[in-house]
Amino acid sequence: MKKYLLTLPVVCSLIAPLCAIGGRAQRQPEDNKSERPKVSHDVTPAAGPIVTRAADPYITLDFIWWRAQEDGLAHAFNGNSVADEPAFGPAPFAPATADRGSVKYPDFNYRPGFKAGFGLQFRHDGWDLFAQYTWWRNNKGHSKTITRRNTDFDSLVIVDIGCPSALLANQAATAPSAIATYDAQRSSGEWLLHFNAIDLELGRNFWISERLTLRPFVGLKGSWMKQDFDVQYLLIFATSFLNTSLDMDLRQWGIGLRTGVDTVWYMTNNWSVFGEFAISGLCNHFKTSRKDFFSGSAITDQLIVNLRNTINSVTAVIEWGLGFRYETLFHNDDYLYMLQAGWEQQIWFDQNRFIFVPNSVPGNLTFQGLTVKTGFYF
């Protein structure tokens, strides 16, 4: 009996440090709960508010002030003849006449829109599931009208028209070779875009240092768009005139894989710089149509061109943003409020699938502008 009593203090002295270490590892500090956690070298702890249930919800709302622009929407060339200027080299590299000017596009203006998001933060390893809808509109009414000045050296050349030169020759008192240049007195172009997108992300927001968090994510991206491009020309030949109207429609929907990473660089406990990056590959279905109408001195609303086309292709989408964020934790770190503002840019490759004569070359659709986001984490 005495033998066992003598060994008991020795055993207790050996296990006492282990018990103390385990108690310190589980104990949470009672003060300074809003301080950023100390990051272990072995584990990346979840960032954000404490998840008190199996899953805690959060909501976000964005105000966007974006400018959309699409390549390949030129409708006229406005130039001046410089035939009286010296040639730049020997024939045939120095033509007798040349044009100087600029290519005319529709007006691409900044317009408001919004994003609305809903997410769930899971207790399971700090994962989160987030869905977001984006809405943006550029309605008709913003057109670019170009009028030819009444001088001998000004010209307005049509970029694309489906009217055969023989029809124009019947409307003019001049030779068909002169009509084939398609000079116009007036040109106007209007572009409409209705943009919708949905993002679905599975991510994890975690600390990799005391002042830096990462949130890698994977998921899906879907979109559906409506585009209309309407161009009108006024052609005058001596005493005759011809009104030309090009009506082009484009419908798109697509879905594909999406991945990326969000970063937050904390300058203080509340203020930080954020950076966002995402890339997607969409399986698109494009449905496009074009109708050209003509009316003039001897023609009344004659349909000359009526084309339709359907295209299926995979295109890429790249998104990135940079800005400043303010956030605060409260109610024992159970809730978080966030407000941020930054500049966002997106490239949607090969979204211009309008039918042009004689060749149709896909053009990119781009967005850029201010994004202001607010969020509340329950």
**pLDDT: which is higher, 295 or 307:** 307
**Amino acid at residue number 152:** D
pLDDT digits (tens, 9 = 90+) for 211-244: 999 999 999 999 999 999 998 888 776 667 778 8
pLDDT in tens, 30-65: 444 445 555 444 589 999 898 989 999 999 999 999
pLDDT at position 179 is: 38
Task: Specify the CATH number for 49-377; select among 1.10.3470, 3.30.160, 2.40.50, 2.40.128.
Answer: 2.40.128
pLDDT value of residue 94:
42
Strongest mean pLDDT among 45-59, 132-146, 314-328: 314-328
How do residues 336-376 score in pLDDT, each as one tens digit? 999 999 999 999 999 999 998 766 788 999 999 999 999 99
Residue 165: per-residue pLDDT = 45
Average pLDDT over residues 300-319: 88
How far is residue 360's CA from residue 124's CA, in Å, rounded to a whole number? 51
Token duo for residue 3: 């033998």
Whether the predicted pLDDT of 304 surpasses 60: yes
| 264: nearest Cα among 203, 336, 207 | 207
Is the pLDDT score of 178 beyond 50? Answer: no
| Alpha-carbon distance values, 264 to 127, 327, 330 (Å) | 17, 11, 19
Helix (H) / strand (E) containing 269: none
Q: Are 261 and 217 in contact (CB under 8 A)?
A: yes
Vertex 293: Cα angle to 190 and 240 (nearest 5): 105
Percentage of the chain exceeding pLDDT 90: 52
Average model confidence (pLDDT) for the chain? 79
- Note the pLDDT of residue 214: 97
Among 356, 112, 332, 366, smallest CA distance to 246 is for 356
Residues 112-124, mean pLDDT to the nearest whole number: 97
Higher pLDDT, residue 166 or 253 = 253
Measured between alpha carbons, how far is 191 from 67 in angstroms, rounded to an integer?
Answer: 13
Q: Mean pLDDT across the stretch 14-32?
A: 40
Contact between 167 and 304 (Cβ < 8 Å): yes
At position 3, the amino acid (one-letter code) is: K
pLDDT of residue 141: 54
Strand order in the sheet with 76-81: 99-104, 76-81, 154-158
Whether 24 has a pLDDT exceeding 90, the answer reads: no
Q: Is the pLDDT of residue 101 over 90?
A: no
* Per-residue model confidence (pLDDT) at position 22: 39
Q: How distant, in Å, are the alpha carbons of 96, 152, 155 from that of 79?
A: 16, 12, 6
The residue written with tokens 């998840």 in the block is 51
Provide the pLDDT for residue 96: 44
